[in-house]
Amino acid sequence: MNEKEVAEIRRRFRPDKSNITHIRGCYVNDKREIVSEFDQSLTLMPQEEGEKMLTLLKRSLSGTLGKNLVDITFATQQVVDSEEHRRLMNLRDSALNDQEGVEAFYRCVIDNLRLEEHYLILLAYDRYDVPYRSKDGGSLEDASTEVFSYVLCAVCPVKMPKPALCYDVPQNAFHSMKIDWLVAPPELGFLFPAFDDRSTNIYNALYYTKSLEENHKEFVDAVFHTEIPEPAQVQKESFHTVIQEALEEECSFEVVETVHDELCSMLEEHKASKEPEPLAISKRVVKGVLESCGVSPERLEAFSEKYDERFGADNDIRPRNVVNQKQFEVKTPDVTIHVNPERKDLVETRNIDGTNYILIRAEGGVEVNGIDIHIS
């Protein structure tokens, strides 16, 4: 799914847009015991509660593609005959009305998900009459091309907040009041089937994780029984390690700066092109950037080998996962310098009389602990 398709489904999660008639849920404690189950009609809920339910579900379609939102692909054999795919298809085809099927899904999640806290599993079913869209982007609401039926799942931590000092109106006084368990935004979730090319794709699902460091691989393995890309933070660390180990003594400030600039430029060009699919680049592209920095053939070959070992020879990487366009950081064990990415020219590294230095050209005044100082 691309960004436009995700946004189109996200817009469904408003009371006036969705065809969601009921929401099912299962509340689980930290001992993996089911505390309660519910099947509530959205139309019979107080408006505020219904909107909060839809907001929680909508959050499982938030974040960045390739980081928080990842495509899950089923093998052909899984779609033809596998327990995990049948379970998901049954949830959708029964519109969440198959009690045994829903309970089997709950059990699958509870037995495998590692969340050391209380949590709530939310399930919603929706039918979307996909409006016809012309080549110029215009749509005709009355000219539906197909009906996209799907299930959205959100797994939300349930937390006990700390007691707070609250104002008691009748007594005109402040008292310490204990607040009940609160439902937090989703930790993970998924959409099934995927909405690819604005059409149903039962070979894919869209998986959501709030954290860029933890993707709950055990959940993916149990529910989808397929591989998932490493978390974005792990991909970033792996990319840094490949560059550092491959280039060794040639891994200079100027080389790292150029790699950062080139990848950021690619992201800006991709954004300007309004291409909905996330940008991905090959090993050859990164190698070309390193070559333009004057990296030696020996170190370029080492980069190829390290890249193949870590990512796979034919696998691309997503620049958005490995560089931060809004941050440029220079760090030693005792000092951390945050630099405006557009003014990296103010920083340079130099070896003077055998000692390494980071030099920063001071422009426009210098402050120390909020106090303007003079440099003489």
Section 199-227 average pLDDT: 92
Alpha helices in the chain (DSSP H): 3-10, 47-59, 76-80, 83-93, 99-112, 217-223, 232-247, 253-273, 283-292, 297-310, 319-322
Same domain for 57 and 100, yes or no, is yes
Gap between the Cα atoms of 361 and 11, Å rounded:
48
Split into its structural domains, the chain has a count of 3
Section 257-280 average pLDDT: 90
Q: Give the residue numbers spanning the domain of 183.
A: 3-229
Neighbours of 86 (CB within 10 A): 14
Section 288-296 average pLDDT: 93
Same domain for 127 and 218, yes or no, is yes
Same domain for 97 and 195, yes or no, is yes
Which of 3-17, 83-97, 140-154, 306-320 has the highest average model confidence (pLDDT)?
Answer: 83-97
Neighbours of 106 (CB within 10 A): 18
Same domain for 258 and 354, yes or no, is no
pLDDT for res 202: 95
Residue 65, pLDDT > 80, answer yes
Both tokens of residue 374?
Answer: 């003079």
* Token pair 């870590």: residue: 310
Residue 17, pLDDT > 80, answer no
Looking at 229, 258, 278, the residue that finishes a domain is 229
Section 12-19 average pLDDT: 81
- pLDDT tens, position by position, 135-157: 665 555 566 678 999 999 999 99
Same domain for 321 and 341, yes or no, is no
pLDDT for res 138: 58
Angle between helices 253-273 and 232-247 (to 10 degrees): 140
Looking at 205, 229, 253, the residue that finishes a domain is 229
Residue pair 195/5 in contact (Cβ under 8 Å)? The answer is: yes
Same domain for 314 and 273, yes or no, is yes
Same domain for 162 and 137, yes or no, is yes
Residue pair 179/163 in contact (Cβ under 8 Å)? The answer is: yes
Both tokens of residue 343?
Answer: 């003014």
Task: For the full predicted model, state whether its pTM sits above 0.75.
Answer: yes
Identity of the amino acid at 306: K
Q: In whole numbers, what is the pLDDT of the chain averaged over residues?
A: 90
